[in-house]
Chains A and B, each alone.
Chain A
Amino acid sequence: VGKSTIEELRLLAAKLSGKVIQNINSTFVGGGVAEILSRMVPLLQQLGVDARWNVIKGSDEFFQVTKKFHNALHGRQERISAKDFELFLETTQKNLEEIELYGDIIFVHDPQPSGLVTRKKELGKKWIWRCHIDVSHPNEEVWNFLQPFVIQYDAAVFSAPGFSHELPIRQFLISPSIDPLSDKNKELPQETIDTVLEKYGIPKDKPIITQVSRFDYLKDPVGVIQAFELVRKSIDCRLVFAGGTATDDPESDKVLAEVREKAGNNSDIHILLIPPGSDIEINALQRASTIIVQKSLSEGFGLTVSEALWKAKPVVASAVGGIPLQVKNKFTGLLSHGVPGTAYALRQLLTNPEYARWLGENGREHIRYNFLITRHIRDYLLLFLSLDHPGDVIRL
């Protein structure tokens, strides 16, 4: 990324000297937030920022409720009872009693720990709510329940412009990012890629279309299979659906079963349950792919798109959540709005490999300048600094 970028980060980090940044979320492993924090916190520490990370505790029932909240905030219909809200408040109260809130800046991620802000009046300090979810069209009941917590924060951070609401607090746009040196994104030798394909029994005889995402209704795995089947009518190809599960997502087993059922005995459809931590395997599958698809119905951001673009792969993705920020339609990939649109875009790319290559190369540049972890760290440093500078122009 260049010397000047690193110098800039060091300078910004130095301005935060003496401040403790306490990150709080609901899990150390699984899911995009944990993945981002596991990269971000050590890098902030390397820059000299005293960044720390704590998680809240909760029962399986609590996480089932927060999963419902998650789906509802994404706009899905969910039945949420008064008992669910009560459980949320009870768990929040228990965590308030147990967790030590020591940071000068308390950086709360997602709705699960959002209620901790009720101690703000007592503790003071700066509080930021980082919303990783697409809340552009939230379930009103859940949003109205959470909003009283949200407006107590000093600032809220969203991953896409469409997620913001008219709120009495400052709202910032910070997109997530990928780490180009991580196992998931680093360059791999062809032998490693071949070994992974062999391990999962995927022949290289046909173009491979891949979606990498959790087994989650919001990722529309069934829609991906439908689009693939439309493409297969005219072009011979394979579909790889590679996904995992997260500790805070109790629904994924059910989705996986439905996807397997939909795939049936089609030998060209490969449903792969990838265990957590298999980053090199995910990397290899993406690199072995001809096209990467991300046909989500809703997305917090959709980092798998950035991962694919970084590998210079042509991408077909839904125009939801943060995906339009990553895919500038017809410049860095193709955006779609449904199953037929996805199938049409896939056919276009499969039959025009030169165009597909051009999109992939543009996509890689787009990620290089806008979605690498260095940009993400810079935005967070600026966010922390902006809390003490209310103006639109800050001179450091």
Chain B
Amino acid sequence: MIQWLIDNWLKIAIPVLALLACFVVGLWVRRIIDRVFERWTVRTKWEGSQFVVKTTRRSFLYWFLLLGAFIAIEVAALPAVSALPPKAESIGVKVIGSLFILSLGWLVIILSEQLLKLYLPKLKATQSTITLAVNVIRITFIVIGALIVLQIWGVPTNPILILIVVVAIAAALALRNAAPNLFAGFQLSAAQQIKVGDYIKLETGEEGHVTEIGWSNTHIRGLDESTIVIPNSRLLQHTVINYGYPLKKAKEPFYFHSRTHLTELTGFKARNLQELVDILKKMPDTAIYYHTHHFLEQHHYLTPEPSNDFAVWVNDALGDEVLGERLASIDTFAFPNLEALKERLIGIIEEHLSKGSNFREVMPGREFHFAKSVSVILPTPYVAHDLREFVEALRKISLGSLYFHIFESRLRLGKGLNDFSIWIKDSLGETELGEEIARLDPYTYTLEGLRSALIQLIEKRIK
């Protein structure tokens, strides 16, 4: 063994020296590069500079070692040295080439991942988006690296390339419907026009708060608290109104109800003022409510609306315009409850009778028929957690719902204030807006006019 070393020391020493020389040069080059990078990181304020330096630092040493090994093999294979047979040289070069490609691939993958993780969150990409992008990068470079390594070892890569192309085409075909949504998802992430928490409204009618933006779909919570899944491509193809970030959340959500009614006839009828006032005294509050309110729903499209039933009857059937005017001018809005309203009606008629003003009887068929309303209160799908949801629901609810929360709850259910004002003040803490709505006299509007006035007040507050 010793004799063999003595005989061949030159053949061993030359490659080893070449390897060591390369290692030393590598250390020296890395030092220079370190200084250059150090100056660069100080000069530039790019936040990615640190990890670029850290990641590439170790790789330089590996690459110089590989370079040294390559030179050593080539030197050992020289005819003058002839320390390696040609076959061993060929294998050695291939191993070194493979190691270099794997090392380079690993570096590219690490750098790409770091860059994606640095920049995608800034684009408000979701975690799923980041994970997908990292995986795509990994797979791409691993495949490229593997193909080069196979090429180095002389393995034919054409069949593998064809296989990859076929798989890619099959995947593209399978995902052809999803593809537009995926691209749209990228665009949405990049453009940041829609973000989680925004309130959006599509021209196709869907609306609500954005709860999740995924690769292919965006999820929104509708006004009925249902989750609506919208393909991302639709968000790009259609006009979308984005009202922006959510507003202050209410302590309790507002559940919209609707109200409809059935008219119950009492069978009582009045032919003159005395009978009217006598029966009026016996009538329940629901009859007072009916005769002072039902025209609001029945003739809500008319401006000006006809007056309450008592005024219309006194005017048209009895022909007493003076009393008709007095009854028509009763400001229903000023009364906190139906009992007080009833007393006022009775008071006006009795005062009129005490003056001996009207003892006429109406023609047969024109009697005043007392009725009362049976209210049926129904849930609606609409729920509001903030003012944006509230105002959007307000645009959609039926007139029966609007009527219930404004008129019926205040007077018939005896709350003294409309439901909207109560919620806006107590649950949202928007005292000023709540009082502004409470001051609105709903009896001076048509129902659609009232809806518009409420929407304007709330929109003004939101802005």
Contacts and interface: CB of A to CB of B under 8 A. Distances in A.
A379 B374 CA distance: 11
A166 interface: yes
A320 interface: yes
B298 A369 contact: yes
Contacts of B397: 4
A319 interface: yes
A382 B374 contact: yes
B160 interface: no
A200 interface: no
B262 A162 contact: no
Interface string A314-331: 000001100000001101
A8 interface: yes
Of the listed residues A5, A328, A392, the one surrounded by the most CB atoms of chain B closer than 10 A to its CB is: A392
Contacts of A7: 380-381
Contacts of B267: 164-167, 171
A396 B375 contact: no
Contacts of B413: 393
A382 B377 CA distance: 11
B299 A328 contact: yes
Contacts of A378: 260
Contacts of B260: 8, 378, 382
Contacts of B262: 172, 174, 379, 382-383, 386
A162 B375 contact: no
Given A365-B301, A392-B372, A394-B376, A172 B400 contact: no
Contacts of A329: 316
B344 interface: no
Interface string B278-293: 0000001010000000
A370 interface: yes
A2 B300 CA distance: 16
Contacts of A161: 263, 265, 369, 371
Interface in A118-139: 136-137
B373 interface: yes
A137 B365 contact: yes
B223 to A, nearest CB: 12
A173 B413 CA distance: 23
Contacts of A166: 267-268
A394 B367 contact: no
Interface in B232-290: 258, 260-269, 284, 286
Given A382-B260, A382-B262, A4 B369 contact: no
B365 A320 contact: yes
Interface residues of B, number: 43
A73 B366 CA distance: 18
Contacts of A369: 298, 300-301
A331 B316 CA distance: 13
A394 B260 CA distance: 10
Interface in A313-351: 319-320, 328-329, 331
Contacts of A158: 265
A272 interface: no
Main secondary structure of the interface of A (DSSP, over half): mixed
Given A170-B264, A394-B376, A162 B367 contact: yes
Contact of B264 (A4, A12, A165, A171): A171
Interface in B299-356: 299-302, 306, 316
Contacts of A394: 374-377
B192 interface: no
A382 B376 contact: yes
B398 to A, nearest CB: 4
Contacts of A11: 378-379
A194 B421 CA distance: 56
Interface residues of A, number: 44
B217 interface: no
A112 B6 CA distance: 134
B461 interface: no
Interface in A374-394: 378-379, 382-383, 385-386, 391-394
A4 B401 contact: yes
B451 to A, nearest CB: 12
Contact of A172 (B264, B284, B375, B379): B264
B265 A173 contact: yes
Contacts of B365: 136-137, 162, 319-320
B397 to A, nearest CB: 7
Contacts of A296: none
B268 A386 contact: no
B159 interface: no
B70 to A, nearest CB: 76
B346 to A, nearest CB: 21
Given A7-B380, A166-B268, A393 B316 contact: no
B176 interface: no
A366 interface: yes
Contacts of B372: 392
Contact of A366 (B299, B371, B378, B396): B299
B265 A393 contact: no
Contacts of A393: 374-375, 377, 412-413
B265 A164 contact: yes
B302 A396 contact: no
Contact of A328 (B266, B306, B400): B306
Contacts of A177: none
A362 interface: yes
B364 A4 contact: no
B369 A12 contact: no
Given A136-B365, A319-B365, A329-B316, A4 B378 contact: no
Nearest to A331: B302
A79 interface: no
Contacts of A233: none
A383 B397 CA distance: 24
Interface in B386-437: 396-398, 400-401, 412-413
A164 B264 CA distance: 10
Contacts of A392: 264, 284, 286, 372-375
Contacts of B316: 329
Contact of A385 (B286, B376, B412): B376
B298 A370 contact: yes
B445 to A, nearest CB: 16
A317 to B, nearest CB: 14
Nearest to A379: B262
Contacts of B265: 158, 161, 164, 171-173
A392 B374 CA distance: 4
A368 B301 CA distance: 10
A366 B299 CA distance: 7
B369 A164 contact: yes
Contacts of B377: 393-396
Interface in A132-154: 136-137
A369 B300 CA distance: 9
A379 B261 CA distance: 8
Closest 9 CB pairs of A and B: A161-B369, A4-B398, A164-B265, A173-B263, A166-B267, A171-B265, A365-B301, A382-B262, A394-B376
Given A171-B267, A369-B298, A370-B298, 14 more contacts: A4-B380, A4-B401, A8-B258, A167-B267, A173-B264, A331-B302, A382-B374, A386-B262, A386-B376, A393-B374, A393-B375, A393-B377, A393-B412, A395-B376
5 contacts: A4-B258, A162-B269, A170-B264, A382-B260, A383-B262
